[in-house]
Structure 1
Amino acid sequence: MAKTVVIEAFGGPEVLQLQDRPVGEPGPGQVRIRHQACGLNFIDVYQRTGLYPLQLPHALGMEASGVIEAVGEGVTHLNVGDRAAYASAPPGAYTEARVMPAAQVCPLPDEIGFDQGAAMMLKGLTVDYLFHRTTPLGRGDTVLFHAAAGGVGLIACQWAKSEGITLIGTAGSDEKCELAKAHGAAHVINYRSENFTEKVRELTGGKGVDVVMDAVGADTFEGSLDCLKPLGMMISFGNASGPVPPLNIGVLAQKGSLKITRPTLFTHIADHAACQAMARRLFGKVTGGEVKIRIDQRFPLDQVADAHRALEARQTTGSTILEL
C-alpha cells in the first residue's frame, strides 16, 4: 500500500484526498518506483479543476524522483536499485510508490539530489524543448519569457544565458524581477507597474523579439503578439491565467507574418530515445553548473492542498516539492 493523493471530483484544493492504495507488481515495459519527493506544477491544477479532464477517480502528479524497486519484462535502461526521476503521463506521481510505464523514467545522476530531481524534470524538460525543439534559437537571439521567476522561468533564465540568448523576463513584483535577473535574465519587466509590450519595444529598439515563451495564457497573449518582430514565433505553452480565447488567424498576417504553436511536453517526450536524450542534456546543464535548481517551497504530502493554494495565488518562486 502507498499513500496517494486522489481526486474523486473536479474542483478547488479541497477535493484533494490522501488515500491508501495498493501498488502491485510491474508488467512488461513497467517499473515500480519508491518515491523520495514529488514535484508540483500548474498542469496538476489544470487536471484538478477539470480544465484538462481526467477519468475520475484519479491520482494526481506528473513528476517525481526515487529508487527503482522492481523492473518488468523488456525494460533495459533501468535496474533495481537505480536512482531515477521522471516527468510522465499518466498522472499519479503524488504517492509514496507506484507502478508506471518505464519509457520516460530516466536514470538520475548521483550528483543530483532526489529533491532536485523531483523539482526539475517537468520544468527542465519543458525548457529543453522550448529552446531546442520548437524553433531555431541561437546566440544573439532575443526571447520574451513570461513568469520568469517561476520554476520553469528560473531554469529558462539560466539556460538562455548559458547559450548566449538574450532573455527578457516578466514577473509580478520587483522582488520576483530581481530573482529572475539574478538567474540570468538580461532585462526584467514588472508587468504590474509597466506595460510589458511598450517596454519590450523600447528594449529592442522597436524591433521586437524573435520568440515569446508564454505559459500565462489569457492575460498576456494579445500583448505578447505585439512584442514579436516580423516572422517571429509565439510559443504558448500554458494557461496559468486562463485559456487563450479563440484567435482570428488573420491577425498573424496583420502583425508581421507571425508564427504560433501550442506545444506540450508530453508530445516531445513520447519517444523513449528523445526523452532520454533530452534528460541527458538537462542533467548536463545541472551537473555542469550552468543551471541550478532552486527549491523555494517544500510541503509534506499531506499538505498538498496548501501547496496548490500557494501555487494558484502566485505566492511561489522557483520550484515547489512535496516531501515524503
Structure 2
Amino acid sequence: MSSEITYATQKKNHAFAPVKGTNTTLDIVFFRQGTFVVVPKSANQKKLIEKVQSIISGTAVQAQGPYWDISATTMAIHKAIASTHKTTISTIHIPTPEVEPGTVLIQVHYASMVAFDTYITDLGLGVAEYPVVLGLNASGFIKAAGEGVTHLRGGDRATAFSIYSGGRKDASQGKGAMQEYILLPAYLCAKIPDALPLVAAATIPDNFITSFYTLFDLLGLSFPFSAFISETSAAAAENDTETPILVYGAGTTTGQYTLQLLRLAGYTNVVATASPAHHAVLLLALGAKHVFDYRSPALTQDILSAAPNGIQIAVDAVSASATLARIAPVLSAQDPSKVAVLLPIKTGDSVANGAAGMAWEVADPSSLGFPPSAELINVRTFAYTKNTLLRDVLMPKLLPALLSATPALIEPNRVRLLDSTVGTLEERALQLGSSFSGTTKSAERKSWLRVGPSSLCAPNESPSNPAQVSECKGNVP
C-alpha cells in the first residue's frame, strides 16, 4: 500500500478537511516547526494532485474547514522514503536542512534498509508519530560541515549511521537514511577511502557499531585501539585470547563483523554457528576457528568438543527465543558466562517470525535453560553514544583507519544488485521492503535499489549523481 505525499504548512495537530475545489479528504499529519505532510486519500484524482503539487511550486492553496490552513512554501525540499502509516511506505518531500555546529550535511547516494525498518513498517515498532523516514546507514558526499567539525569537510566521501531514537519524531528534522540529504552529528559519520565503493560503504555502520559495542563495551573484552589509532583503550577486562567465544548466527551481517573485530583484537578461539554449506569458507577466512551447522541435532556436542569447559562469552546475532535456548546448554556450568543478545528478541528461531511477537528482555533466563551464573546482556546499539570514547572514536577515527589500511582491515558484506531502472522510487522501495517478508534473515549479502533516475554511481561516482537506496538483509541492531 502506498500514496504520494507532498509538503504544506499549517498550524494545528492532525485533522481532516477538504481542499477547496475538490471533494476529496486529505489526511494532514502534523510536524514541528510548521511543516506538514499532505496525504491524498484518492491519489488518482488528477485535480487534487495538481493542487497539492502547486504547494511545492510556491502557489498558495486555500483550504476550507476550521482546523487548518495551507499556505505556500518556498523552502528547499528533497525526496525521502518513509512509513506513513502501519504497512504503508511512501515517497515524501521534506525540507532540506541547513548545517549546524557539530553536524554534517550528506548528499546521500546509497542508504540501507535493515530488518528493523520492516518492524517499523509492518508492526509500527517504536513509532512515536508518522511519517517515519526509514534507513539506518547512508553513504555519499559531504555537502557541508558545521563549525567544530575537524574530521570531515565538503566533498569528502563518507558513510554514516542514522540512529533511531525517540521514535524518529518530526521527519522534517532530517532523521533517517533513506533520503537525498541527511543532517547528522559528525560523530556518526566516517570518512571513507576512494577505493571503497559507496555502494559497499552503505553496508558498514550499523553492523560495525553493533559488533564493536557488543564485544568491547557490553561484554568487556579488550580492543587494542593504540594499534590502529593514537587513542588509549577504555578500561576493560583483560581476557585470555584463547578463551572460546561463541558467535551464534555468524553468517548474518552483524555476525560477520563480530568475527572480523574479534580477529583484529587477537581472539583466536572463535566458535561460529551458521550454514556450513553456504558460509564455512567465508567465516573461516573472517576469523572463525570452528564453524558448526546450527541445524545439526548434535550442535551442543559439536560446540562442547571445541570448548570442553563450556562457553563463557557468547553473541547471539540472530536473537530469537529458540536460538537462546540452543545456546543455554553449551554455557559453562562452573564459571560465570555472558550472552549478548541483539534486541529486539524474536519468537521462534529466526527474524522471519518477527511478526509473531517481539520482546525487549527475557524476564527469566532460567526458563530457557540458562545456568544461574549466566548473565543475559541486552544490546541496544543506539545507546552506544553514551560511551563517550566510542562516540568520539568509532566512526570519526577507528573506522576510517581500518578501511584505509592496505589491505583494508574490515571487509564489507557481500552484495547483490537490484534492478535500478524498473518502476518508480516508491515501487522499488516497496519491492525492497517486501523482500524481507517470509524469509529467514541469515543472508550475508546486501542489495541496492536506486532512488534517482540515472544509472548507479559505481564505478563513476560524483557528487552530482542521484541519491540511491540499498537493502541490507541481516539482523537488527
Q: TM-score, normalised by structure 1?
A: 0.85
* Structure 1 pair 252–173 and aligned structure 2 pair: CA distance change class (3 A): closer
Q: 1:157 and 1:318 mapped to 2: Cα distance?
A: 16
For 2:207, which of 108, 115, 123 is the aligned residue?
Answer: 123
Q: Deviation at 1:153?
A: 1.6
For the pair 1:66 / 2:140, whether they are aligned, the reply is yes
For the pair 1:268 / 2:384, whether they are aligned, the reply is yes
Per the alignment, residue 290 of structure 1 pairs with: 409
Map Cα deviations across residues 114-170 of structure 1 (whole Å, 9 max, x no partner): 223211111112221222222233411222112211211222223323323322222
Map Cα deviations across residues 40-76 of structure 1 (whole Å, 9 max, x no partner): 3232223223233342111111111111112344544
For 1:112, which of 196, 199, 215 is the aligned residue?
Answer: 196
Map Cα deviations across residues 199-239 of structure 1 (whole Å, 9 max, x no partner): 2223212x222211113222211222222223110101133
* Structure 1 pair 195–264 and aligned structure 2 pair: CA distance change class (3 A): farther
Across the aligned residues of Structure 1 and Structure 2, the Cα RMSD in angstroms comes to: 2.8
Does structure 2 retain, via aligned residues, the 8 Å contact 1:146–1:171?
yes
Does structure 1 retain, via aligned residues, the 8 Å contact 2:162–2:184?
no
For 1:168, which of 249, 271, 275 is the aligned residue?
Answer: 271
Unaligned runs of 5+ in 1: none
Per the alignment, residue 44 of structure 1 pairs with: 117
For the pair 1:92 / 2:214, whether they are aligned, the reply is no
Per the alignment, residue 93 of structure 2 pairs with: 20
Q: AA paired with 1:102?
A: A
Per the alignment, residue 317 of structure 1 pairs with: 444
SS in 1 for 2:312: strand
Does structure 1 retain, via aligned residues, the 8 Å contact 2:135–2:162?
no
Q: Deviation at 1:98?
A: 2.2
Q: AA paired with 1:281?
A: L
Does structure 1 retain, via aligned residues, the 8 Å contact 2:191–2:400?
no
Q: Deviation at 1:272?
A: 6.1
Q: 2:325 and 2:372 mapped to 1: Cα distance?
A: 14
Q: AA paired with 1:298?
A: L
Per the alignment, residue 305 of structure 1 pairs with: 430
Per the alignment, residue 394 of structure 2 pairs with: 278
Q: 2:190 and 2:134 mapped to 1: Cα distance?
A: 20
* Structure 1 pair 39–201 and aligned structure 2 pair: CA distance change class (3 A): same
Q: Deviation at 1:269?
A: 2.7
Does structure 1 retain, via aligned residues, the 8 Å contact 2:79–2:94?
yes
Q: 2:373 and 2:84 mapped to 1: Cα distance?
A: 45
Kindly name which structure, 1 or 2, has the bigger radius of gyration based on alpha carbons.
Answer: 2
* Structure 1 pair 285–77 and aligned structure 2 pair: CA distance change class (3 A): closer
* Structure 1 pair 252–16 and aligned structure 2 pair: CA distance change class (3 A): closer
Does structure 1 retain, via aligned residues, the 8 Å contact 2:417–2:447?
yes
Q: AA paired with 2:78?
A: A
Which structure 2 residues correspond to residues 159-308 of structure 1 after superposition, within 5 A? 159-162=261-264, 163-172=266-275, 174-205=277-308, 207-216=309-318, 217-229=320-332, 230-238=335-343, 239=345, 240=351, 241-242=353-354, 243-244=358-359, 246-248=362-364, 255-270=371-386, 274-279=390-395, 280-288=397-405, 289-299=408-418, 300=420, 302=426, 303-308=428-433
Does structure 1 retain, via aligned residues, the 8 Å contact 2:328–2:369?
no
* Structure 1 pair 248–107 and aligned structure 2 pair: CA distance change class (3 A): same
SS in 2 for 1:100: strand
Map Cα deviations across residues 243-268 of structure 1 (whole Å, 9 max, x no partner): 35743266699715112211222211
For the pair 1:148 / 2:270, whether they are aligned, the reply is no
Q: 1:53 and 1:196 mapped to 2: Cα distance?
A: 38
* Structure 1 pair 276–36 and aligned structure 2 pair: CA distance change class (3 A): farther
Unaligned runs of 5+ in 2: 1-76, 165-174, 222-238, 346-350, 451-467, 469-477
Does structure 2 retain, via aligned residues, the 8 Å contact 1:152–1:318?
no
SS in 1 for 2:327: helix
Q: Deviation at 1:321?
A: 4.2
SS in 2 for 1:165: coil
Does structure 2 retain, via aligned residues, the 8 Å contact 1:140–1:165?
yes
* Structure 1 pair 106–264 and aligned structure 2 pair: CA distance change class (3 A): same
Which has the larger displacement, 58-67 or 242-251?
A: 242-251
Does structure 2 retain, via aligned residues, the 8 Å contact 1:71–1:79?
yes
